[in-house]
Amino acid sequence: MNGAGNINDQVTQLLMGASARAIEAPKEFDLMEMPVEGVAAFWLSVKKTLDARKKDDGFLLEEARHTREPHVRFLLELAASSFPASRCEELAQVRKQNILAELHRKYVLMAIGLLGIVSKENPQKVMIRFLSKFHIAPIFEKQVFDVAQVMLKNLDNSELNKAKFLNIDHKLKIEALIINLIFYCMLARRSGVESLLDYQEFISSQYFKDGLALIRDGFDYDFVKFRLNLVKKEILEATELKMDLSMHMMSAIKSGVPFADLYLIAKAYLP
């Protein structure tokens, strides 16, 4: 019996066995996707509302509860805290470095997967390359291949929740990202790169989709690697810029600077 519940539950159970942590990506707005102008506008609107409410700190916590972007939510909580602005900046820097390190690792994993595809490398070797990026393996190799095999066998079953299980996205947990990358490496080895393009609609990461397009167009390993490293660097730098802008605007709001001065901070970061 191949009902939707059976297939999807089977994959879910395998995922649960692969890690004790939740495997699904959170459904949240992403700071990486926000233009720098949008980030500046957000903090200016926070300041404007605070001024209208006579600096009611309750508004900051209320805004934090309704903000789905985790880093911005953390900064709002800092702004509402009893810490001085200097301490808030220190904590924001710690949080920023943790987030950037995690993002860097996820983009490295995507690049390893794509380079494994372009070089037609055995997925077992790709998996070893994945695990070499961790001092302790985040997931068992056997579970990775068990899940990927189930996904591969059920690709033609319309009841498989492809939107959930075939996604590649930096918002996925590390364990889920590794599993899905191995799945695509296995699919490419079995059916060729062209077959992967049939599942682009389920892939959220433009970085990964662009890499697949380069491979499909026949670019060699060295060029694909160069391009992936360049784009990764630019993505992380742009994200860090928006994090720094947010931190300085949060700190200025915490310090009670006038709206006009807050705008000058934003202006320094705008192109």
DSSP code of 135?
S
pLDDT at 184 over 60: yes
Structure tokens at 102: 């995690």
Q: Which residues contact 113 (CB under 8 A, 6 or more apart)?
A: 126, 130, 181, 182, 184, 185, 208
Q: Which helix (H) or strand (E) holds 2?
A: none
**Long-range pairs for 265-268 at CB < 8 Å and ≥24 separation?**
266/40, 266/43, 266/44
Mean per-residue pLDDT, 125-140: 94
Residue 75 contacts residue 247 (beta carbons within 8 Å): yes
pLDDT at 27 (0 to 100): 40
Predicted TM-score (pTM) of this structure: 0.86
Residue 139 contacts residue 19 (beta carbons within 8 Å): yes
Q: Rounded distance, CA 205 to CA 196, Å?
A: 14
Average pLDDT, the chain: 89
Instruction: Please name which of 255, 242, 223, 24 lies closest in space to residue 114, comparing C-alpha atoms.
Output: 223
Q: Rounded distance, CA 223 to CA 163, Å?
A: 30
- The number of beta carbons lying within 10 Å of the beta carbon of residue 210 is 14
Which amino acid is residue 6, in one-letter code? N
Q: Which residues contact 265 (CB under 8 A, 6 or more apart)?
A: 245, 248, 249, 252
Residue 138 contacts residue 20 (beta carbons within 8 Å): no
pLDDT at 114 over 80: yes
Q: Rounded distance, CA 78 to CA 88, Å?
A: 6
- The number of beta carbons lying within 10 Å of the beta carbon of residue 113 is 27
Tens digit of each residue's pLDDT (9 = 90 or more) over 151-172: 999 988 888 889 888 999 999 9
Distance from CA of residue 180 to its chain's centroid?
A: 14
Structure tokens at 52: 């209208």
Q: Rounded distance, CA 241 to CA 269, Å?
A: 8
Q: Which residues contact 38 (CB under 8 A, 6 or more apart)?
A: none
Tens digit of each residue's pLDDT (9 = 90 or more) over 6-48: 666 765 665 555 543 433 433 445 788 889 999 999 999 999 9
